[in-house]
Amino acid sequence: MIIKTLVSGLIGIAITAFSIWIFNKFHFIIASGMVGLISFTAGTGMFKRDDSVDRVMVMTLSSYALWWLIASYTLLNVDVHMTWNSIMIVIMTTVGFHVPIVAAQLIKRKVDEFTSYIEILSVMFISTYGVLMSMALFISGRIAYRPEKFDLHSINFVPFRTIVGYESSIHLLGNIILFIPIGLVLSTLIKNGRIRRIAAVLIPVFIEVAQFFTRTGVADVDDLILNSFGIAIGSLLVCLVRRRLEATSSSLL
């Protein structure tokens, strides 16, 4: 058991380290696909084992532990910055590791196991994702992701004004994709629909306001729109899965 746990942990660390190398060598989109495929392959390999859930969780924990070490190193070295690539790696490895397990539980109609499994994973994920996102937003700043013609300490209240000014569609999509996990986690952990909707609205607003007052970026209504759209997509995905689970539960009665 100890050896299996150790091996699973080393696999998680190795995939994370290799993913960092991939993002440093390849285009963002290509790197994302490669990391997702590698992680999915690893998750599928674990899926065939009886203790697949435990081993995938160990892989995930070891991967997150490495990111916490990287985050600590970044805080202690002013010349090192947390980038959006890091957050995308966390997202892609988490998705890749766990999609096979999630699919298997849905197919086997293990509703109770699926619910508790997702809740535990959500807590693990949001703790690491939240730290990296906060560092990227408020410590490293967003200078590399904003056109030079805009004042980083300005406020834009005109919708769609700066969207056309993004350097590439990757940055546009990044503002959406990187916030999808927030919608997933909110819809998973917060049962009260009203509180969930309020949180979904306040989080993007808080980020934009905080960036302005901490002078780490632009308070931009376009970012607010894109980030909110990403959160909405995440919430919709959870809603679709819940409907599937409800249909499964009904068929079992």
Take residue 1 and report the two structure tokens written for it: 């058991």
Q: pLDDT tens digits for 173-183? A: 888 888 999 99
Together in a domain, 129 and 214: no
Together in a domain, 2 and 88: yes
Together in a domain, 11 and 66: yes
Take residue 31 and report the two structure tokens written for it: 């790197």
Q: pLDDT tens digits for 46-84? A: 766 667 788 899 999 999 999 999 999 888 887 777 888
Q: What is the rounded distance in angstroms from the CA atom of residue 243 to the CA atom of residue 85?
A: 33
Tally of domains within the chain: 2
pLDDT at 149 over 60: no
Task: Mark which of 81, 109, 140 sits at the end of a domain.
Answer: 140
Task: Mark which of 140, 169, 201 sits at the end of a domain.
Answer: 140
For residue 25, give every residue at least 6 positions away whose Cβ sits within 8 Å of its Cβ, in sequence order, or none: 31
Predicted model pTM: 0.83
Q: What is the rounded distance in angstroms from the CA atom of residue 59 to the CA atom of residue 249?
A: 30
Together in a domain, 160 and 125: no
User: CB 151: neighbour CB atoms within 10 A?
Assistant: 10
Which range (9-13, 198-202, 216-220, 249-253) has the least confidence? 249-253
What's the DSSP call for residue 135? I
Of the spans 33-42, 172-181, 185-194, which averages the highest pLDDT?
Answer: 33-42
Q: Report the Cα–Cα distance between both ends of the chain, in Å, rounded.
A: 37
Together in a domain, 132 and 163: no
Asked if 64 contacts 26 with a C-beta cutoff of 8 angstroms, the reply is no
Q: CA-based Rg of the chain, rounded to a whole angstrom? A: 19
Together in a domain, 159 and 244: yes
Q: pLDDT tens digits for 98-124? A: 988 888 777 766 666 677 888 889 999
Residue whose C-alpha is closest to residue 87's, from 180, 13, 210, 198: 180
Q: Which domain holds residue 77?
A: 1-140
Task: Mark which of 140, 156, 176 sits at the end of a domain.
Answer: 140
Burial 94-128 (b: 16+ CB within 10 A, else e): bbbbbbbbbebbeeeeebeebeebbeebbeebbeb
Q: What is the rounded distance in angstroms from the CA atom of residue 96 to the CA atom of residue 76?
A: 31
Q: Residue 167 has what pLDDT? A: 56
Together in a domain, 99 and 154: no
| DSSP-derived 3-state class of residue 213 | helix
Burial class (CB in 10 A: 0-12, 13-18, 19+), 38: middle
Together in a domain, 100 and 206: no
Together in a domain, 162 and 246: yes
Together in a domain, 178 and 75: no
> C-alpha distances in angstroms, 102 versus 93, 120, 233, 237?
14, 13, 19, 13
pLDDT at 251 over 70: no
Together in a domain, 152 and 229: yes
Together in a domain, 127 and 53: yes
